[in-house]
Amino acid sequence: MNVADSDRLSRALGSLDFQATDDPAEAGLIILNTCVVRQSAEDRALGRLNSLKPLKHANPDLIIGLMGCLVGIKGNQAMEKRYPWVDIFAGPSDPEPFLRFLGDRLTHSDSEVWRRQADEVLDAEFGITTEAQHTVSENLPIVLGCSHNCTYCVIPNRRGRERSRESHKILAEARVMVEHGAKELVLLGQIVDRYGLDLPGEMRLPQLLREISEIGGLERIRFLTSHPNWMTDELIDAVAELPKVMPHIEVPVQAGDDEVLRAMRRGYTNQQYRDLVSRIRDRVPGASIGTDIIVGFSGETEAAFEQTYRLLEDLKIDVAHLARYSPRPNTYSAKLLPDNVSAEEKMRRFRALEDLQKVVVGKINEQFLGQIQPVLFESRAKNKWRGRTPTNRLVFVENEQDLVGELRDVRITWTGPWSLQGELLG
Ligand code: SF4
């Protein structure tokens, strides 16, 4: 979601004649987008913020903006006091303070024109009118915020309650993205499978997938992240039926032990998650499944951790995003539950799952050896073209041709746990 917010803001600024630079010392405007989902992310964001202070001293005209979850939707007066070298603060997915500030600040003869352009970008719902070239795979937020209360999670506090965007605006933006180069759209939401439930009369995610599928020139659609409780059969069937919707579902379990799941207030059990994975695999054969796991949550005993381990071992999940629990400010678990698994133990459990996944995913990927896979190429990395299979596996190919944006058949010649290599056919 932060990548999507940053991209949209960059495109809006680009359409207002700002030019990007990789050198902070050369910049007239620096906006830092921040994540606080874990303590390590917050520490990194604060480190970067502090590193900007000397630049501001050297160049008082430099405009520094801070956006994202470090600021939060309610603003953050304490931060404004603590970081006086920051000129603008804005919450997540909210570019308006930047555009308004810049419009007011610019005093050159074009400022009226500039302000009008900024208004147009905002009126059209941020980003829609920009003519900038889009990347092959574009993130498209469709649900902002979250109204669930998972006890460890800081997101509802920072990104606000759940707000689905109106489908006509999503479709308009999707068409612009495809017209300007996007071949794949990744629909984003904290609970993306709840799309439309907060908007009376609005379509739900399966219908939205159908409508987006109609866009000519668009090759692929993905959506993330789903919550197990909102993953309906209708949605799974839409994945099975719509050729442009890729067979890849991100549906976090977070833990395998029912007590821990209850303490996290996730709203399902180990067995219910297992049943969901079976339903997905029955209806979408060959689908890949991604999950998120937090190890070392409050009260996670060794036996409880083993439930998580066994769940991963049994289900053979394609991707597991692992994290060690860290209490986040003002969450239920930070205030009321003890952080009673030691840092060493959290690391041990993290490593145990990492090792398990390496073996599990390595074996799953071996099945692709010699197979032909349709790969959508996104970029070049280390002299190789980098693309993805329908099930979201990374594939690297060496070739003289420019493959970015191409959907090509590739024979898989090497497999490892985290990527595949192959050769182009035809
Ligand atoms: S559903 Fe996801 S975003 Fe919402 S509170 Fe739970 S973990 Fe946080």
Q: Is 146 in the pocket of ligand 1 (CB under 6 A)?
A: yes
CA–centroid distance, residue 190 to ligand 1 (Å)? 6
Q: Please indicate, yes or no, whether residues 112 and 143 belong to a single structural domain of this protein.
A: no
> Phi-psi region for residue 254, left (φ > 0), alpha (ψ -120 to 50) or beta?
left
Query: How confident is the model at residue 322, as a pLDDT?
Result: 97
Q: Please indicate, yes or no, whether residues 6 and 116 belong to a single structural domain of this protein.
A: yes
Residue 267 maps to a domain: no
Protein residue whose Cα sits closest to atom 3 of ligand 1:
190
Domain end among 246, 275, 299 = 246
**How far apart are alpha carbons 381 and 145 in whole angstroms?**
33
Question: Of ligand 1's atoms, which has the minimum distance to the CA of residue 191?
Answer: 1
Q: Which of 38, 144, 149, 190 for a ligand 1 pocket mutation test, highest count of atoms within 8 Å of Cβ?
A: 190
Q: Which domain holds residue 20?
A: 2-123
Residue 364 maps to a domain: no
Q: In CATH, what number is assigned to the domain containing residue 146?
A: 3.30.750.210
Query: How confident is the model at residue 73, as a pLDDT?
Result: 79
**What's the total number of domains in the chain?**
3
Q: In CATH, what number is assigned to the domain containing residue 90?
A: 3.40.50.12160
Please state the φ and ψ torsions of residue 103, each to the nearest 5 degrees.
-60, -40
Query: How confident is the model at residue 72, as a pLDDT?
Result: 87
CA–centroid distance, residue 115 to ligand 1 (Å)? 37
Q: Please indicate, yes or no, whether residues 113 and 182 belong to a single structural domain of this protein.
A: no
The answer to whether the predicted template modeling score (pTM) of the entire model surpasses 0.95 is no
Domain end among 180, 213, 246 = 246
Protein residue whose Cα sits closest to atom 8 of ligand 1:
153
Q: Is 191 in the pocket of ligand 1 (CB under 6 A)?
A: yes
Q: Please indicate, yes or no, whether residues 89 and 109 belong to a single structural domain of this protein.
A: yes
Q: In CATH, what number is assigned to the domain containing residue 395?
A: 2.40.50.140
Q: Please indicate, yes or no, whether residues 10 and 115 belong to a single structural domain of this protein.
A: yes
Q: Please indicate, yes or no, whether residues 25 and 72 belong to a single structural domain of this protein.
A: yes
Q: Please indicate, yes or no, whether residues 217 and 108 belong to a single structural domain of this protein.
A: no
Tokens representing residue 425 in the block = 């056919």
**How far apart are alpha carbons 49 and 380 in whole angstroms?**
30
Residue 293 maps to a domain: no
* Cβ(153)–Cβ(191) below 8 Å: no
Query: How confident is the model at residue 81, as a pLDDT?
Result: 87
Domain end among 193, 213, 246 = 246
Q: Please indicate, yes or no, whether residues 6 and 119 belong to a single structural domain of this protein.
A: yes
Q: How many CB atoms lie within 10 A of CB 210?
A: 15
CA–centroid distance, residue 326 to ligand 1 (Å)? 15
Residue 151 maps to a domain: yes
Residue 331 maps to a domain: no
Q: Please indicate, yes or no, whether residues 84 and 146 belong to a single structural domain of this protein.
A: no
Residue 254 maps to a domain: no
CA–centroid distance, residue 239 to ligand 1 (Å)? 23
pLDDT averaged per 10 residues in sequence order, the chain, 426 residues: 88 81 91 90 92 92 92 79 91 83 65 63 54 85 95 93 94 92 97 97 97 98 98 98 98 98 98 98 98 98 98 98 94 96 98 98 98 97 94 96 96 97 94
Residue 276 maps to a domain: no
Q: Please indicate, yes or no, whether residues 77 and 103 belong to a single structural domain of this protein.
A: yes
Query: How confident is the model at residue 123, as a pLDDT?
Result: 56
Residue 360 maps to a domain: no
**How far apart are alpha carbons 332 and 334 in whole angstroms?**
6
Q: Please indicate, yes or no, whether residues 159 and 219 belong to a single structural domain of this protein.
A: yes
Q: Is 69 in the pocket of ligand 1 (CB under 6 A)?
A: no
Taking CB atoms within 8 Å and a gap of at least 24, the contacts of 261-269 are 263/151, 263/297, 263/298, 263/299, 263/333, 263/337, 264/150, 264/151, 264/152, 264/294, 264/297, 264/333, 265/148, 265/149, 265/150, 265/151, 265/332, 266/150, 266/228, 267/148, 267/229, 268/228, 268/229
Q: Please indicate, yes or no, whether residues 226 and 142 belong to a single structural domain of this protein.
A: yes
